[in-house]
Amino acid sequence: MADLPIALLDSLQNLPGYDATSFIAVHNSPERVTSIRLNPFKISNSSAQNRVLGQFAPIEATSIPWCPGAFYLSERPSFTFDPNFHAGAYYVQEASSMFLAHAFNHTVDTSQRLMVLDLCAAPGGKSTVLQSCINKESLLVANEVIKTRAALLADNLTKWGTANTMVTNNDPRDFAKLDGFFDVMVVDAPCSGSGLFRRDPNAIQEWSEDNVVLCSQRQQRILADALPALKENGVLIYATCSYSFAEDEAIVDWLIEEFDMESLPVPIEDAWGIVHSSTPKQGAAAYRFYPGKVKGEGLFMACLRKKSGGDYYAKNKPALTYVSKQDTARMEAWLQPGAEMSFIQHQSDVIIFPQSLTNEFAIIQKNLYLKKAGINAGQLTAKELIPSHQLALANCLANNIPSVQLSKEDALKYLRRDDLQVQSNLKGWALMQYEELNLGWAKILPNRINNYYPKELRILKENI
Ligand SMILES: C[S@@+](CC[C@H](N)C(=O)[O-])C[C@H]1O[C@@H](n2cnc3c(N)ncnc32)[C@H](O)[C@@H]1O
C-alpha cells in the first residue's frame, strides 16, 4: 500500500482512540474484511439464511454484533456469479457502516410511522439498512444528487424489493421546501475518504489537507440546506468515512451551536472496539471506527435531536391519478392478498404504492425530482400487464405467479441475457427463479423463451 499521508497521521495524533502503531500496521497488512447483510424481506427464516450462507462454504460466516442479519465472510466469494446476489437476497456492505442499524434502533422509536430521509444515499448501503429498520407504514426517501449515481441507487433499492420507498435526484437545498416533513434524516456526507484507504489505496493519492477543509465546508452547506426539512424532535444521524476532526466532531459541535440540537448517545459494548468520542465544545457523544480496533473500515457517526423546528403542513393536498376500479382488481391479482396497495397511473405505467402513504407520495412528487417511487408494475394494456423488472423483485408480488426454477448454470445464463433452453409447460409471462427467489421475467412462447432481464443489469464478466 502507498504510504499514508504524513499530514493525515500528524492531524490524528490527539484524537480519541487513535493509536499510530496499530493504524499504520493495519494499513500495511494484506488482511481485508468482507461482510454482507441479508435482506429480511426475502430471507426471512433460518432455513433461507442457511441456504444463502451455506452456498459460500467452505467460506465461514460469523455474525456482526451491531446489526441483525449481518455477517462477516472469512473470504471474499465472487458475488457477481451468485444468483442470490442479483435476486436481492443480500447487500455487500462494509461492516462499520452497518452500525447505522444500531444507532437508528437506539435513537428512534421504530414502532412509529416515520418519514425517513437518506440525503446522500448512493449506492444505497445505508438506505437498505434504514429500510430494514422501519415498519411498512413508514416511508424512506433515498436521495442522491448525482444523476448516474441516483440510477445505481434505484437499481439497488429495486433489488431490496420494498414498496414504501422513493428515490429522488435532488440537491440538498431542494429539501428546504419540505419544512418539518421528516422524522429522521441521515446525512452520510461526501468526505475526504481516509476511512476507506485500506479498501481503496488509490484514494490515498487524492487526500490533502485542503480537501479536508473543502469537504468540511461542503458538509456544513449540505446540513444547513437540508436541516429545515427535519421536524421538531426529529433525529439527525450524521456520518462520514473520514477520520479528520474538521469533518467529524467539529461538525457536530457546529450543529449543536447553530441549530438548537442535542446529543443522543448510543450504547456500545467494549468488545466491539468502537471508540466513544466526546466533542470538545459541547461534549456530544460520537463514535469512531478505526480498522485494527474494529473489524471494519474507518467511520464516524453521531446522533442528534433537533429541539425546535416546524411540522410540515400541506395547504393544498396534491392529487394523484389512480387506475380504474376494474384495473385495480386486475392489479390486485398480481399481489399478495391483503397487500393494501394503491395503483397510481404514471404516464403509461402503473405504480404500486402503500395505501397509507399516498399523501406523502403526492407531496414528494410535487416537490422533488422522482427517480423511482414504490414499485413500477409495468404497462397495463386492455389485454395484459406487461410486467416490469421492478415487479419481479417486489416483495409484495403474489406467490402464485407462474415460475420456472433455474439451476445455477441456467440462472447465470438468464442473468447474462443469453438464450435459455428450459423445459416448461407454461405459456406467457413467467418468473425466472433461483432457489425460490425471483430474478426477473421471461416470456415463454411455443418454440422459444424470450429473456426479459434488463440489458443494463446483465452480467458482462465471462469468468469467475
Ligand atoms: C459517502 S457517499 C454515500 C454512501 C451511501 N450513503 C451508502 O451507504 O451507500 C456520499 C454521497 O454524497 C453524494 N454527494 C456528493 N456531493 C454532494 C452534495 N454536494 N450534496 C449532496 N450529496 C452529495 C455523493 O455522490 C455520494 O453518493
Q: What is the mean pLDDT of residues 200-224?
A: 96
CA of 82 to the centre of ligand 1 (A): 28
Identify the active-site residue in 67, 133, 191, 241.
241
3 state SS for 344-394? EEECCEEEEEEHHHHHHHHHHHHHCCEEEECEEEEEECCCCEEECHHHHHC
Question: Which pLDDT score, from 0 to 100, does residue 310 have?
Answer: 86
298 Cβ closer than 6 Å to some ligand 1 atom: no
Place 380 in a pLDDT band, splitting at 50, 70 and 90.
Answer: very high
Q: What is the mean pLDDT of residues 92-105?
A: 98
pLDDT tens profile 298-346 = 999 999 999 999 889 877 778 899 999 999 999 999 999 999 999 999 9
List the residue whose alpha carbon is closest to atom 7 of ligand 1.
125
Q: Where are the beta strands (DSSP E) in 31-145?
A: 34-38, 61-63, 70-73, 90-92, 115-118, 139-143
Binding residue positions for S-adenosyl-L-methionine:
120-126, 144, 171, 188
100 Cβ closer than 6 Å to some ligand 1 atom: no
Residue 191 CA: which ligand 1 atom is closest? Answer: 1
Specify the residue for cell string 433460518: 46
Place 461 in a pLDDT band, splitting at 50, 70 and 90.
Answer: confident
> Are residues 136 and 164 in contact, defined by beta-carbon separation less than 8 angstroms?
yes
Question: Which pLDDT score, from 0 to 100, does residue 317 have?
Answer: 78
The answer on pLDDT for 438 being more than 70 is yes
Question: Which pLDDT score, from 0 to 100, does residue 126 have?
Answer: 98
pLDDT tens profile 234-290 = 999 999 999 999 999 999 999 999 999 999 999 999 999 999 999 999 999 999 999
69 Cβ closer than 6 Å to some ligand 1 atom: no
180 Cβ closer than 6 Å to some ligand 1 atom: no
The rounded mean pLDDT for the chain is: 96
> Are residues 182 and 166 in contact, defined by beta-carbon separation less than 8 angstroms?
no
CA angle 303, 309, 312 (to 5 degrees): 110
pTM score, two decimals?
Answer: 0.97
Pairwise CA distance, residues 48 & 436, whole Å: 10
- Alpha helices per DSSP H over 144-282: 147-160, 203-206, 209-226, 249-259
Place 424 in a pLDDT band, splitting at 50, 70 and 90.
Answer: confident
Kindly indicate whether the ipTM for this predicted assembly is greater than 0.95, answering yes or no. Answer: yes
CA of 142 to the centre of ligand 1 (A): 11
The answer on pLDDT for 2 being more than 70 is no
163 Cβ closer than 6 Å to some ligand 1 atom: no
> Are residues 98 and 91 in contact, defined by beta-carbon separation less than 8 angstroms?
no
Domains of the chain, each with CATH number or no CATH = 6-33+94-306 (3.40.50.150), 325-457 (3.10.450.720)
Question: Which pLDDT score, from 0 to 100, does residue 375 have?
Answer: 98
To the query of whether residue 241 is one of the catalytic residues in this protein, the response is yes
Helix (H, G, I), strand (E, B) or coil at 93: coil
Q: How many CB atoms lie within 10 A of CB 420?
A: 20
Which of 82-86, 333-337, 457-461 shows the lowest mean pLDDT across its residues? 457-461
Residue 151, all three cell numbers: 440510477
The answer on pLDDT for 464 being more than 80 is no
